[in-house]
Amino acid sequence: MTKPVETSTQDRNSQLLAEFKTTTGDVRVEDPKMRMDNVDVHYGDNQAIYGVDLDLGKNEVLAMIGPSGCGKSTFLRCMNRMNDTVDSCRVSGTFSLEGQDIYAPDQDVVLLRARIGMVFQKPNPFPKSIYDNVAYGPRIHGLASSKDELDHIVETSLKRASIWNEVKDRLDAPGTGLSGGQQQRLCIARTIAVSPEIILMDEPCSALDPIATASIEELIDELRQNFTIAIVTHSMQQAARVSQRTAYFHLGRLIELGDTNTIFTNPSHELTENYITGRFG
């Protein structure tokens, strides 16, 4: 009884994928923060991303959704060259951060990752104090010329990450001693302490309870004033809540990109519709 229904949607999806030529919707924005052109990614002989064009707009939250294995995390990691750490990974195409090619041979990758920070699925505070977690980045990048300046950066970052009040009296306590939600906010504070321009978030709330998730989502909304954010999420409701534009990936192709309201009320592509209505997971 179950099989025939699933097979027909899968058959239909395969057919739609075979017919896929170009992304539905506007991939371009005016004056983008980051422009990505004709991106292909291979892991060894396996192609993970196929010819993706995508612009990231200034001060927007772009959500990237799609079923497991669709390449959204792979694509996200290309945006600050985290895939450089994966031996078998080959990235082609261009990634321009306000006109600068981030894959240029003379690009300082450490500096790049300060400009384009990343928050991961599992909160990963350093085994250091709360203070040192946040101060680490500014220290190595020489962003503070005095202790007072460093204190100021740490306080501002923790405030912006909405965690200052909870930790201000125990900045020497280990970062790993915090709850999951607090750890994630600490990681966000750590990311913003080096004044990034873009924050990449790879399923930042997957390991958190609903209350911690809600506070991170609230934080994302506040952070948008000062940063540009790209977020990969498995939760469609989260994508619907936090983002202005949503990109749907399917087996390495960018199928559709559009205004979040439209994607969730009236998507144009059948593959997008099938995914977000739970006809295909």
Partner 1 sequence: MDNLNLDQHISHRYNEELEDLRSRVLNMGGLVEQQVSSGLKALLELDSELGEAVFNSDFEINALEVEIDEACTEILARRQPAASDLRLVMTVIKAISDLERIGDEAEKFGKVAMRLSGTGSRPTYFSELRHLGEHVKSVLRDTLDAFARMDAEAALLTASRDDAIDREYNSLSRLLISHMMEDPREIKSVLEVFWCARALERIGDHANNICEYVVYLVKGKDIRHTSQQRKLESKRDQQ
Binding site for partner 1 (CB under 8 A): 2, 5-6, 8-9, 236-237, 240, 264-268, 270, 273-274, 276-281
**Beta-strand (E) ranges in the chain?**
34-43, 46-56, 61-65, 89-97, 100-101, 116-119, 198-202, 228-232, 245-250, 253-259
| Cα–Cα distance for residue pair 203/234, rounded to 1 Å | 7
The residue (of 50 and 280) whose beta carbon lies closer to partner 1 is: 280
For the bound state, the minimum distance from the C-beta of residue 210 to partner 1, rounded and expressed in Å, comes to 14
For the bound state, the minimum distance from the C-beta of residue 46 to partner 1, rounded and expressed in Å, comes to 27
For the bound state, the minimum distance from the C-beta of residue 261 to partner 1, rounded and expressed in Å, comes to 11
The residue (of 68 and 266) whose beta carbon lies closer to partner 1 is: 266
The residue (of 17 and 29) whose beta carbon lies closer to partner 1 is: 17
| Cα–Cα distance for residue pair 186/167, rounded to 1 Å | 10
Instruction: Sheet with 228-232: list strands edge to edge.
Output: 116-119, 198-202, 228-232, 61-65, 245-250, 253-259
Q: Specify the length of the chain in residues.
A: 281
Whether 208 contacts 220, CB under 8 Å: no
Alpha carbon 224 to chain centroid, angstroms: 13
The residue (of 24 and 133) whose beta carbon lies closer to partner 1 is: 24
For the bound state, the minimum distance from the C-beta of residue 259 to partner 1, rounded and expressed in Å, comes to 13
For the bound state, the minimum distance from the C-beta of residue 266 to partner 1, rounded and expressed in Å, comes to 3
| Cα–Cα distance for residue pair 91/81, rounded to 1 Å | 9
The residue (of 59 and 277) whose beta carbon lies closer to partner 1 is: 277
The residue (of 70 and 154) whose beta carbon lies closer to partner 1 is: 70
Closest CA to 280 of 23, 10, 5: 10
For the bound state, the minimum distance from the C-beta of residue 279 to partner 1, rounded and expressed in Å, comes to 5
The residue (of 59 and 265) whose beta carbon lies closer to partner 1 is: 265
For the bound state, the minimum distance from the C-beta of residue 245 to partner 1, rounded and expressed in Å, comes to 16
Residue partners of 210: CB distance under 8 A and separation at least 6: none
